[in-house]
Chain A
Amino acid sequence: MSLLSQRDNGEPMLPTPYRVVARQVETHDSVTLGLAPVAEQLPHFQPGQFTMLYAHGIGEIPVSISGEPSTRDGLLTQTIHAVGAVSRALHDARVGAAVGVRGPFGTSWDLESAEGHDLLIAAGGIGLAPLRPVVLGALAHRQRYGRIMVVAGARGPQEFLFRTELSAWAARDDLNVTLTADQPARGWTGRVGFVTEPLTGLQLDPWRTIAFLCGPEPMMRICANVLLRHGLPPEQIRLSLERNMQCGIGLCGHCQLGPLLICRDGPIVDYATAADLLTVREL
Chain B
Amino acid sequence: MPSPPTLAIWKFTSCDGCQLTLLDCEDELLTLAGQVRITHFPEASSEVLPGPYDVSLVKGSITTADEQLRIHHIREQSHVLVAIGACATSGGIQALRNFTDVAQFRALVYASPEYIDTLATSTPIAAHVPVDYELRGCPIDRRQLLEVLSAFLIGRKPDLPDTSVCTECKRRGLTCVMVADGTPCLGPVTHAGCGALCPAYRRGCFGCFGPMTSPNIPALVSQLRACGLNEDAIQRAFRTFNAAAPAFIEEVQYRRTQCR
Q: Do the two chains bind?
A: yes
Query: Does B108 reach chain A (CB closer than 8 Å)?
Result: no
Q: Which residues of B contact A84 (CB under 8 A)?
A: 157
Q: Which residues of A contact B157 (CB under 8 A)?
A: 59, 84-85
Size category, B interface: under 10
**A59's closest neighbor in chain B, by CB?**
B156
Query: Does B2 reach chain A (CB closer than 8 Å)?
Result: no
Roughly how many angstroms separate A160 CA and B206 CA in the complex, as a whole number? 54
**B158's closest neighbor in chain A, by CB?**
A85
Roughly how many angstroms separate A59 CA and B155 CA in the complex, as a whole number? 10
Residue-wise, chain A 27-63 has the 8 Å CB interface mask toward B (1 for contact) of: 0000000000000000000000000000011110000
Query: Does B30 reach chain A (CB closer than 8 Å)?
Result: no
Q: Which residues of B contact A88 (CB under 8 A)?
A: 155
**A88's closest neighbor in chain B, by CB?**
B155
Query: Does A21 reach chain B (CB closer than 8 Å)?
Result: no
Q: Which residues of B contact A56 (CB under 8 A)?
A: 154
Residue-wise, chain B 149-164 has the 8 Å CB interface mask toward A (1 for contact) of: 0000011110000000
Roughly how many angstroms separate A53 CA and B154 CA in the complex, as a whole number? 17
Query: Does A89 reach chain B (CB closer than 8 Å)?
Result: yes
Roughly how many angstroms separate A89 CA and B157 CA in the complex, as a whole number? 11
Roughly how many angstroms separate A101 CA and B155 CA in the complex, as a whole number? 19
Residue-wise, chain B 128-170 has the 8 Å CB interface mask toward A (1 for contact) of: 0000000000000000000000000011110000000000000
Roughly how many angstroms separate A16 CA and B157 CA in the complex, as a whole number? 23
Residue-wise, chain A 113-146 has the 8 Å CB interface mask toward B (1 for contact) of: 0000000000000000000000000000000000
Q: Which residues of B contact A58 (CB under 8 A)?
A: 154-156
Q: Which residues of B contact A85 (CB under 8 A)?
A: 155-157
Residue-wise, chain A 257-273 has the 8 Å CB interface mask toward B (1 for contact) of: 00000000000000000
Q: Which residues of B contact A59 (CB under 8 A)?
A: 156-157
Roughly how many angstroms separate A89 CA and B155 CA in the complex, as a whole number? 8
Q: Which of A76-99 contact B (CB under 8 A)?
A: 84-85, 88-89
Q: How far is the CB of B171 from chain A (nearest CB, A)?
A: 16
**A56's closest neighbor in chain B, by CB?**
B154
Q: Which residues of A contact B154 (CB under 8 A)?
A: 56-58
**B150's closest neighbor in chain A, by CB?**
A57
Roughly how many angstroms separate A88 CA and B157 CA in the complex, as a whole number? 11
Roughly how many angstroms separate A59 CA and B154 CA in the complex, as a whole number? 11
Roughly how many angstroms separate A255 CA and B154 CA in the complex, as a whole number? 27
Q: How far is the CB of B62 from chain A (nearest CB, A)?
A: 30
Q: How far is the CB of A194 from chain B (nearest CB, A)?
A: 32
Q: How far is the CB of B114 from chain A (nearest CB, A)?
A: 51
**B153's closest neighbor in chain A, by CB?**
A57
Q: Which residues of B contact A57 (CB under 8 A)?
A: 154, 156
Residue-wise, chain A 55-76 has the 8 Å CB interface mask toward B (1 for contact) of: 0111100000000000000000
Q: Which residues of A contact B155 (CB under 8 A)?
A: 58, 85, 88-89
Roughly how many angstroms separate A89 CA and B154 CA in the complex, as a whole number? 10
Roughly how many angstroms separate A169 CA and B155 CA in the complex, as a whole number? 39
Q: Which residues of A contact B156 (CB under 8 A)?
A: 57-59, 85
**A58's closest neighbor in chain B, by CB?**
B156
Q: How far is the CB of A246 from chain B (nearest CB, A)?
A: 13
Q: How far is the CB of A189 from chain B (nearest CB, A)?
A: 41
Q: How far is the CB of A88 from chain B (nearest CB, A)?
A: 8
Interface centre among A56, A84, A85, A88 (most CB of B within 10 A): A85
**B157's closest neighbor in chain A, by CB?**
A85
Q: How far is the CB of B2 from chain A (nearest CB, A)?
A: 15
Roughly how many angstroms separate A58 CA and B154 CA in the complex, as a whole number? 7
Residue-wise, chain B 3-18 has the 8 Å CB interface mask toward A (1 for contact) of: 0000000000000000
Q: Which of B160-209 contact A (CB under 8 A)?
A: none
Roughly how many angstroms separate A57 CA and B157 CA in the complex, as a whole number? 10
Residue-wise, chain B 49-64 has the 8 Å CB interface mask toward A (1 for contact) of: 0000000000000000
What would 13 A/B residue contacts be, using CB atoms closer than 8 Å? A56-B154, A57-B154, A57-B156, A58-B154, A58-B155, A59-B156, A59-B157, A84-B157, A85-B155, A85-B156, A85-B157, A88-B155, A89-B155
- Please list the residues of chain A having a beta carbon within 8 angstroms of any beta carbon in chain B: 56-59, 84-85, 88-89
- Please list the residues of chain B having a beta carbon within 8 angstroms of any beta carbon in chain A: 154-157
Give me the 7 closest cross-chain CB pairs, A-B, nearest first.
Answer: A57-B154, A58-B156, A85-B157, A85-B156, A58-B155, A89-B155, A58-B154
In addition to A58-B155, A85-B157, A88-B155, 7 A-B residue pairs with Cβ atoms within 8 Å of each other are A56-B154, A57-B154, A57-B156, A58-B156, A59-B157, A84-B157, A89-B155
